[in-house]
Amino acid sequence: MNLPRALTLHTVLAAICLGSWQCASPGQKGPSAAQELSSTPETAGARRLTDSSADQLAPAFSADGTRLIFQSNTDGNWELYTLSLADGRSQRLTDTPELEEDPSWSPDGKLVICTTHAPTLDQDAPRDILVMDADGRNRHLLAAHGADDFCPRFSVDGASVFFISDRVDTRKDVSEDARQTAVFRYVLAEDRLEQLTEAATWSQPLPTATGLALRADNHSLVWLQGTDFQAAIADSGMILGQADYLASQGWIVSQLSEEADGRLRWRPNGSTSWKDWPLEGRDAEWTPAFAPDGSQLVFAGRDRGQWDLYLRTLPAPAPELPVK
C-alpha cells in the first residue's frame, strides 16, 4: 500500500512543525456491538488510535491482529513504530539517518519489511527494500539496485517478497505518471530474484486475505498467488485488499479525489459504482489495511493538517441462506 510520491512530499513538508505524539486512550469507545452488526461499511464509525502533532502513516496489522506497525516522523525523519491495540502503548522500532516507510510484518511475525532511502529534497529519490528482525536488528537490503524499488509485500507463506521496481524502465526521460514498472519476486531461501510481469505503466501487488493479486494497466486483477479468485474490474481507484468476508460483499479502495487528498470508498459486489465513506470530520484518509480476519480496517486520517491512525470495525458478514 504505497503512498503516491506527491502525498509523501506533502507529509514531509508538514513535518517542519514537529512535536511529540501520544496514543489516544485505549478506553475510547467505538460503536456498540449492536451498531457494528447492523451497520454497513459506509456508516460504521472509526475510533482514533493516536493523537499527534506529527504524522503517522501506512499502518499494517500483525498476523495475530493485536498490534500495528506504522511510520511516523515524530523526530523529523520517517521511522518505524509499533502500537499495541490492547493497551495503546507504542514502541519505537528504528532510529536511523535513513527514512523507513511502508512497513509490514512477515506472516510469522519474525521479520519486518519496508522501504528505505537517504533523506533528500528530491521526492522521487529511489527507494530500496529493507528487511530486519522484528526487534529492528539485523538490517539488510533486499536485491539492492539503483532503481526505485517499492511496495514490498510478503507472500502468504513468508518464503518470498513481492515488490515493484522501475529497473525495467530504460527510457531517458521518465515522468512519475508514465514510468514503467514491473512486479518482482525475491525468494528468500534461494537468494533469487525473478521478474513476474512485463514492463508496464502501472502495476502493484495487492495483499488479500488468501493470497496476492496484481492490478495491471487495464485495471484487471489476476492472481500471483492464491486460489478461488474471481476476476474483478475496477473502473477507478486503487484496490488495496479484500478481506475474507468481503469476498461476498465488495471491495475497499483508497482514492484521490477533487474533494480530498484521499478518501476511503467501497463497492458492493454486483455494483458498478463506488460508495464514499463519510470523512467524519477528517479532511483526508489514506493507507487502509485489513486485520487478518477481516473484522477491522486501520487507516491514516488527516485532521487539522496532521495524519493520525484510526480503526474502523467492519460489519459482520451477512449470514448465508440455506440451500433449498
What would the pLDDT profile of 65-92 be if each residue is shown by its tens digit? Answer: 999 999 999 988 999 999 999 999 999 9
The set of cell numbers assigned to 262 is 484521499
Residue 119 to residue 252: CA distance in whole angstroms: 32
List the domains of the chain with CATH numbers.
5-313 (2.120.10.60)
The set of cell numbers assigned to 23 is 496514543
166-200 burial: b if 16+ Cβ within 10 Å, else e: bbbbeeeeeeeeebbbbbbbbebeeeeeeeebebe
Classify the C-alpha dihedral 115-126-287-245 as positive or negative.
negative
Residue among 123, 122, 109 nearest 154 (CA):
109
User: Does residue 276 carry a pLDDT above 90?
Assistant: no
Amino acid at 63: A
Amino acid at 55: D
pLDDT for 278: 81
What would the pLDDT profile of 227-253 be if each residue is shown by its tens digit? Answer: 444 444 444 444 444 444 444 456 676
pTM of the model: 0.78
Confidence tier at 275 by pLDDT (50, 70, 90): confident
Span 287-295, average pLDDT: 81
User: Does residue 280 carry a pLDDT above 80?
Assistant: yes
Task: Name the β-bridge partners of 238.
Answer: 254
Residue among 25, 23, 31, 21 nearest 312 (CA):
31
Confidence tier at 216 by pLDDT (50, 70, 90): low
Confidence tier at 120 by pLDDT (50, 70, 90): confident
Residue 309 to residue 238: CA distance in whole angstroms: 20
Residue among 34, 108, 28, 46 nearest 298 (CA):
46
pLDDT for 170: 73
Residues in the chain: 324
